[in-house]
Structure 1
Amino acid sequence: MNNGITIGITCGDINGVGLETVLKALLIKKVGQQLRLVIYGSTKVIAYHKNIITPENVQFYAISNPQEAQPGRINIINCWSENVNITLGKPTDVSGKCAYLALERAVGDLKAGTIDALVTAPIHKKAMQMAGFPFVGHTEYITEALGGKESLMLLVSDDLRVGLVTNHLPLREVAQAITTQKVLRKILILSETLRVDFNIDKPTIAVLGLNPHAGDEGAIGNEEQTIIRPAIEQAKEQGILAYGPFPADGFFGSGQFRKFDATLAMYHDQGLTPFKTLSFSEGVNYTAGLAAVRTSPDHGTAYDLAGKGEADDTSFIRALFLAADIVRNRNEYIEMRANSLELSKRKTLVSETGEDEDVVDVPEE
């Protein structure tokens, strides 16, 4: 079903658990055998992490570009040639540089279309800054690299989907960053991705408020009345089934989220705290709204587990399969639209030429 799909996988921070989870999934559980998988990193570093989880000899295949990748084997693109120091459990400039190099090469291939999707292993923001990485995180870097004006961080676990209006932003800056146009754009992106990437015909979206109790009609802040509700109304005018703003505190605990296809939160912890409570170790981070597909496990470098062989690979596996599913859904959507357009053209041609129309002879009087 996924034949022909090529997915890139970045090594992430080499001092964390990213490569351990990747190798556990591919070597031990034999996940993704039908896909062409390409790991961006270094054969030496990957071999080091392989030895943490298994003493068995493993055949790695060094390739120079994704077109050389074959399904059912460990294809590796070397992104640096020199030996590097692995310091498990700590952020270093070396681990940041390696993660940066792998990400840069992988995103270049994603942009060129030589891979269909990208799964990024976790990075450490401090290590990336030490290496000169000028972005807050993966999402911001990939959005700019792919020429996107705006993307949406979307957390996914089965039927639970939570999007964010603001991403990695200090809490004191959140209120100022939220505008009616920004909320509206995020609603539009979320609606489109639910239709195209998740194959939901008429998606419903719940929008959370910013303040406690969604402002209590202006008693505890007025952003709901002056910013968020107008965005929802404008979305409805465009035919989008958006509702709210809902008070965030009881929305997930009461199970109200189950009535909607997705929920839009105003800021990072408002969305991720309930999401991780409900789906810890199973969630996936998807960057919606881009021309290309990018997912990642919903966990960090987990330095405290690095080198112990105890990291859970569930989130990585789900990220891999979600990436493949979205590629397939997008292809089906494009094909469906192409077929609809062709059918529409044929109907127009028949109408204009009169061909294939029933002709009735009228007898002369």
Structure 2
Amino acid sequence: MNIGILQSAGIAGTVIECALSTPDNDDVFTATIYSKDNGNDKNVGADLKFGNISGIVVAPGSATEFSFDSAMTMYVAERMRLATVFPDKSAEELMESFDRDVLAERINKVWMSLKRDFLVSMPRIALLAPDGMTEDVADTLAAVVAGLSEQGIGVFGPYNTNDYIDRQQFLHFDATLAILDGEAKEVLGAVTDESRTKLLIGIPMVMASTEYGATNDFDASGIVQPAYALRKAVYTVIDVVRCREAYDEGHSDPLPKLYHERRDDSEKVRFAVRKQNNAPENGN
């Protein structure tokens, strides 16, 4: 499997070299480094389209950011997966206008990602309650959860953020969904570290990055942790690619039903009155 890694100038090259220095890498994947220095930074889209690379990872220290209208960011760590419904909204904006359709659509997106990207057969999603939640917002959350549950989507909550962390309730769910960015950061800071991976879900390609963006200040003496985060992001992309291939193969061209129930639904049969047998038994 070939994974594309986007490299910026400066220390990022050293981080990539450190991350890929493990001898067993060649048995699992090969890496194509995209950078201006290599003269191939414009080839990423074409290589994805024609299958030359299976996924993309943005290296630590890179200023490259991808944004898609349909995408959500899912944080993938050792003990939890977490996404945010309204990452760009403030609490005041949310309380003024709460879009239940967007909430339901994004819960569906996380649920589908768990099934296809992680092969979770029956996903369980925990919904966190935003701080300062009004009664109207609470009723809306409860109604959305109830409606999706009736459709067979395993979403539960809303849960108080502090109780959710203190009682380690996240261990009982396949993903956590925060309404606002504040609750998401609170949970991430308490449960995970900076080696977590940022996976884009809801898009056709597999793309991930680390928490070490262009604004992070690290030098050659402190590249071990960013290199470890990059390595985890690469293997997350590999796992997701393999899961998607397995899921798509298992759900493409399914076998037809082997047995069909024989029944006649015509009105003649439905409204027919069964005749009673009034013949005497034993000649009586």
Identify the TM-score tier after normalising by the shorter chain. Answer: 0.7 to 0.9
Aligned to 1:319: 233
CA distance in 1, matches of 2:26, 2:97: 44
Instruction: Please report how far the alpha carbon of residue 271 of structure 1 lies from its aligned counterpart in structure 2 after TM superposition.
Output: 1.1
- The one of 162, 180, 188 equivalent to 1:275 is 188
Aligned to 1:11: 7
Residues 72-91 of structure 1 aligned to structure 2 (within 5 Å) = 77-79=38-40
Instruction: Please report how far the alpha carbon of residue 338 of structure 1 lies from its aligned counterpart in structure 2 after TM superposition.
Output: 3.0
CA distance in 2, matches of 1:19, 1:269: 33
CA distance in 2, matches of 1:170, 1:20: 38
**Residues 31/120 of structure 1: CA separation in 2 closer, same or farther (3 Å cut):** farther
Normalised by the size of structure 1, how large is the TM-score?
0.63
Instruction: Please report how far the alpha carbon of residue 109 of structure 1 lies from its aligned counterpart in structure 2 after TM superposition.
Output: 3.0
**Alignment RMSD, CA only?**
2.8
* SS of match in other structure, 1:301: coil
Query: Do structure 1's residue 180 and structure 2's residue 100 form an aligned pair?
Result: yes
CA distance in 1, matches of 2:149, 2:108: 10
Instruction: Please report how far the alpha carbon of residue 302 of structure 1 lies from its aligned counterpart in structure 2 after TM superposition.
Output: 5.2
Q: Which has the larger radius of gyration?
A: 2
* SS of match in other structure, 1:206: strand
* SS of match in other structure, 1:163: strand
* Contact persistence 1:10–1:41 (CA under 8 A): yes
**Residues 32/175 of structure 1: CA separation in 2 closer, same or farther (3 Å cut):** farther
Query: Do structure 1's residue 300 and structure 2's residue 238 form an aligned pair?
Result: no
Normalised by the size of structure 2, how large is the TM-score?
0.80
Instruction: Please report how far the alpha carbon of residue 251 of structure 1 lies from its aligned counterpart in structure 2 after TM superposition.
Output: 1.1
Residues 1-365 of structure 1 aligned to structure 2 (within 5 Å) = 5-12=1-8, 14-15=9-10, 17-27=11-21, 29-30=22-23, 32-34=25-27, 35-43=29-37, 77-79=38-40, 102=41, 105-122=43-60, 137-138=65-66, 140=67, 143-144=68-69, 150-169=70-89, 173-175=93-95, 178-212=98-132, 214-215=133-134, 218=135, 222-226=136-140, 228-301=141-214, 303-312=216-225, 313-338=227-252, 341=254, 343-344=255-256, 347=258
* Contact persistence 2:61–2:212 (CA under 8 A): no
Cα shift readout 1:342-364 (whole Å, capped 9, x = no counterpart): x327x379x9xxxxxxxxxxxxx
**Residues 165/153 of structure 1: CA separation in 2 closer, same or farther (3 Å cut):** same
CA distance in 2, matches of 1:307, 1:182: 43
* SS of match in other structure, 2:3: strand
Letter in 1 for 2:229: S
CA distance in 2, matches of 1:209, 1:269: 11
CA distance in 1, matches of 2:46, 2:74: 23
Q: How many correspondences in the alignment?
A: 259
CA distance in 2, matches of 1:273, 1:315: 20
Unaligned runs of 5+ in 2: 263-284
Letter in 2 for 1:344: P
Instruction: Please report how far the alpha carbon of residue 153 of structure 1 lies from its aligned counterpart in structure 2 after TM superposition.
Output: 1.1
CA distance in 2, matches of 1:204, 1:334: 21
* Contact persistence 1:31–1:317 (CA under 8 A): no
Cα shift readout 1:281-327 (whole Å, capped 9, x = no counterpart): 33111111111111111333354213444441221111100100111
* SS of match in other structure, 1:273: helix
Which of the pair has the greater relative contact order for Cα pairs under 8 Å at 6+ separation? 2
Unaligned runs of 5+ in 1: 44-76, 80-101, 129-136, 145-149, 352-365
* Contact persistence 1:111–1:292 (CA under 8 A): no
* SS of match in other structure, 2:236: helix
Identity across aligned pairs (percent)?
A: 22
**Residues 174/332 of structure 1: CA separation in 2 closer, same or farther (3 Å cut):** same
Instruction: Please report how far the alpha carbon of residue 23 of structure 1 lies from its aligned counterpart in structure 2 after TM superposition.
Output: 1.6
